[in-house]
Amino acid sequence: MAELEARKLKYPNTGTEAFLMGILVEGTSTTAKFLRANGITLFKVREETLNLLGKSDLFFFSPERPPLTEQAQRALDWAFNEKLKSGESGEITTNHLLLGIWSEKESAGHKILATLGFNDEKAKEIAKSSYLFILTFWLTSGCQAKQANNSDGQWSLKDFQIGSPLGNGKFGSVHLVREVKSRYPVALKITSKEQIENIAEGDSKSISVAH
């Protein structure tokens, strides 16, 4: 999609700005939704691209596969390396790609994002959603969370290193933590006994950890 966007604008190369437009053209990813929720739309990115890079010659035709610019290649390499560091299987996500674009501070993509209000704080939000999964402990009888690394197959607070708070949820505070044995980062919800007592039976399955 990025190559197609470069060709639409008759650019000779696929740059970070084309990556950004590609993310928004696809439109269904959490990254695209996050960008739109923060006012960064495809129309605005195209407009800023033209303001920054200008229009191509009317009689110039882009190659069928416009090669990547050096900055775009570095952004892609950054995304690939971050994916490897995460230890997750599968392909590079649009989150990784967006952060790769943001890492190239002199690139058109970074400048366009900054112009449209994207900043380091928003990049951190994207990064958190890339590496976190929600750890759930079922409170109903006979349905407790298991972990293969533990001898008894159950998690407890001693299995985690508690990190910085991420925010407050409906039933308690959410913290960034790391599972001690696997070193995997997770989001952990901590709920008091008093809060648990006030939870309706139908909501009990959504609670994470109580202490």
Least confident of 3-7, 22-26, 178-182: 178-182
Q: Report the SS3 class of residue 73.
A: helix
Closest CA to 96 of 73, 78, 114: 78
**What is 2-131's CATH superfamily?**
Clp, N-terminal domain (1.10.1780.10)
Domain 132-211 has CATH 3.10.350: no
- All structural domains of the chain with their residue ranges: 2-131, 132-211
Q: Where are the alpha helices (DSSP H) in 104-190?
A: 108-115, 120-131
**Which residue do the tokens 């690139």 mark?**
107
Give the C-alpha separation, 174 to 172, whole Å: 7
Q: Average pLDDT of 169-183?
A: 69
Q: Distance between CA 154 and CA 136 in Å, rounded? A: 11
Residue that wins the pLDDT comparison between 142 and 185: 185
Tens digit of each residue's pLDDT (9 = 90 or more) over 73-98: 999 999 888 877 766 556 778 888 99
The residue with greater pLDDT, 134 or 182, is 182
The two tokens of residue 56 are 């191509």
The DSSP call for residue 66 is P
pLDDT for the residue numbered 69 = 93
From the list 112, 149, 103, 87, the residue with the least C-alpha distance to 24 is 112
Both tokens of 86, joined, read: 């995460």
Tell me the pLDDT tens digit for each residue of 137-159: 332 333 333 444 455 556 676 77
Q: What is the DSSP letter of 205?
A: G
